[in-house]
Amino acid sequence: MKPMRVALCQMRVGTDKGRNLHTARNMVRQAAEQQAQMIILPEIFNAPYEAARFEQYAEAIPGPSSEALQDMAREYQAVLVGGSIIERDREGRLFNTCLVFGANGVLLAQHRKVHLFDINIPGKLRFQESQTLSAGNNITLFEVNGWKAAVLICYDIRFPEMLRLATLAGADLLIVPAAFNLTTGPLHWELLMRSRAMDSQAYVIACSPARDESASYQAWGHSMLVDPWGRIIAQADQGEEIIMGDLKPGEVARVRAEIPVLAQRRSDLYDTIARKPGLIIERRTDREGSY
């Protein structure tokens, strides 16, 4: 495991996909110039986060956005976690999908959002991703620079069972492209990210879009990097910015040795099922993958 500098690009997202890709490229370039070895973009970084528009912005993989991400990773020689895009598969189904490319442009991971954001808070917020999107079925891990990273997308972070399975599969880094809103964000964003870092004893990287007060869905922002002790290493405000932080080798192992909750689990009392029919845990390294 090697030290790794990470950058979170809290970018402003508009209705013009081409402009969004241009903004992403500029921010990735700036992050690379600051020696970032892994760069993270937010959920649905190339389009408005509006369920009614998902069909309009959906694209196949490979496609314009995935090819742009691959090109950025290769050009700027950094691992690029491409937030997420709306993917259209060969059967015409839509998925909220995160692509991860290695610094050589190799596809390291393709994670489809497992838990669809279907909520109804009367008088505040109603959102139904399942009206247009299909759910993924994989817990997705990849390896880079000796780190084992799990990818989750936004609502996935609310399901501790998924986090525990990823941790038991070896994850010491949890990457969360997300777009919390002004209803859930103020109370739940920091609470969830710090809690998941603490109970997984892993680094958590959570990247949000910047807030756009003219949009129908306003992101909370406040992208953050949290260490395995639950401490915030870096945090953005609500506007467009890049924040940086360093992942320290040995920090995860140290915390897990000091408070060995993973080793002390009472699996004789509660059965944690790490594998079952229909559940796929994907693992890739920076030397594997195809695109």
Residue positions annotated with a catalytic role: 43, 113, 154
The answer to whether 112 and 96 have CB atoms below 8 angstroms apart is yes
> Which position has the token pair 């360093």?
246
Q: Are 147 and 1 in contact (CB under 8 A)?
A: yes
Q: Is the peptide bond before 249 cis (omega within 30 degrees of 0)?
A: no
Residue among 193, 186, 262, 257 nearest 231 (CA): 193
C-alpha to C-alpha distances, 142 to 90, 99, 173, 286, nearest whole angstrom: 24, 11, 10, 8
Antiparallel, parallel or unpaired: β 85-88 and 94-101: antiparallel
Sequential DSSP letters for 237-272: -SSSEEEEEEEPTTHHHHHHHHS-TTTT--TTTS--
**Does 209 sit behind a cis peptide bond, omega within 30 degrees of 0 on the bond before it?**
no
- Six token digits for residue 124: 């505040």
Q: Which amino acid is at 26?
A: N
Helices 160-168 and 190-200, packing angle to 10 deg: 30
CA R_g for the chain = 18
- Phi, psi (rounded to 5 degrees) for 159: -115, 95
91: how many CB neighbours lie within 10 A of its CB?
6
The answer to whether 59 touches 27, Cβ cutoff 8 Å, is no
